[in-house]
Amino acid sequence: MSRALHLAGFLIASHVTHSHAAWRHPGSETDYLAPGYYRRVAQTLERGKFDFLFFADLLATPVRYGDDIRVPLRSGTQASATIDPALVAAGLANVTDRIGLAITKSTTYFHPYEVARIFGTLDHLSGGRAAWNVVTSLNQAEAQNFGLDNHLGHDERYDRAQEFLEVAYRLWGSWEPDALVRDKASGVFADPDKVHVVDHAGTWFKTRGPLTVPHSPQSRPVIIQAGSSSVGKDFAARWAEAVFEIDPTPEGRRAYYDDLKSRASDFGRNPDDLKIFPSFVPFVGETESIAREKQAFHNELADPVSGLITLSVHTDHDFSRYDLDAPIEDVVVPGTQGLFDVARRLSVRDNLTLRDIGRLYAQGVLLPQFVGTPEQIADQIEEGFHGGEADGYILSAAQAPGTFNDFVDLVVPELQRRGLFRTDYTGTTLRDHLGLGPATLEPAARGRVVRAGA
């Protein structure tokens, strides 16, 4: 196997995934407030030798569409009920052995000391399987939940995130790997010369250190990011080791792949150390027509207004004030600019109205749907993997855990038969699975290297 394909599963610790229809699907389990649900998904993906299970997270009930909380609560729109993924992941560390556990934490609403502590702890409890999806958060409602009147501006959030990561890296490095002595006979617990204060005082944060959590198996979590604006992509190119991407078109995915890899080189990094993971929703059937029936059944359950509520949350822009039957307008949004650009691009290309975009958003936040027999789905993955759009894929479920069961039982063996995907784990940490070398605790290159002719 030359270049290795990577696979991850996507969840929100809640009743839905990217698909709003997921919770209404008769095949979906309904006990997503209980640990067994997450255990079943994680163990299934581990049986399928997946690299990691990924948890997205949002920090507010959706109120961005017409400032109305009743409609999203009634229809179960994304983020209307979520539990804390860090605690879910800590539970999963106990019932899995190999699969990576990636959770989302915001650099806008937490403090680096707290976040460094959470991930240091998770990395210990999981034996080196922790990853952090670094997000800058999306909307005003989240600000209001965390004591602020206004959400920080888009680029300011990234400025804060930059300092956040620098501080977190220094905290993770505050314990040298061999600082814990634990010598019962001499009574020496730790070597104080190997535990360092951090004494950081910057624009956004002050912290003294050291971290209370000793050096962890991976030194720090794997860094995942999902920025889609130009400043977001630069942030990813600097820091991320995996990037989570949403783009429904192969040409968009190829352009994103090239763009990010070249930004990583501009920062003096080896582009192979930044793995790109587009996401898709699979519909697998014994025949293509069975798969298409499954897709149509699922898509029919998606409610366009719920989709527009989620679009409003993601972009931090109120789409309730526009004509549902007109094309989506070109507005400047303070939330996720890249996802809005994708919506606009689709709308122009396919002549879609705002209602159509709402429907697509409810079916899966503009994720592509890969539909067909196990062989046809493996073909699409292979094509994208070899065709310059992906180092791996994040699977999002149309129904959970059914989508993951189908994929692991039917598509993974086909990918393995083709020599594309591992038949067993060869290492124990998430860094091992992703083929990343030892983690550096030096903040990634900060200055941009401009190439000759660029």
Ligand X SMILES: Cc1cc2nc3c(=O)[nH]c(=O)nc-3n(C[C@H](O)[C@H](O)[C@H](O)COP(=O)(O)O)c2cc1C
Which residues contact ligand X (rule: CB under 6 A)?
A: 56-58, 104, 106, 135-138, 226-229, 232, 244-246, 336-339
Length of the chain: 454
Q: How far is the CB of 180 from ligand X (least distance, A)?
A: 34
Q: How far is the CB of 60 from ligand X (least distance, A)?
A: 10
Is the CB of 244 or the CB of 280 nearer to ligand X?
244
Is the CB of 282 or the CB of 285 nearer to ligand X?
282
Is the CB of 226 or the CB of 412 nearer to ligand X?
226
Is the CB of 58 or the CB of 165 nearer to ligand X?
58
Q: How far is the CB of 229 from ligand X (least distance, A)?
A: 3
Residue with the closest Cβ to ligand X? 232
Q: How far is the CB of 171 from ligand X (least distance, A)?
A: 21
Q: How far is the CB of 162 from ligand X (least distance, A)?
A: 13
Is the CB of 78 or the CB of 219 nearer to ligand X?
78
- The whole-angstrom separation of Cα 441 and Cα 443 is 6
Is the CB of 107 or the CB of 174 nearer to ligand X?
107
Q: How far is the CB of 57 from ligand X (least distance, A)?
A: 5
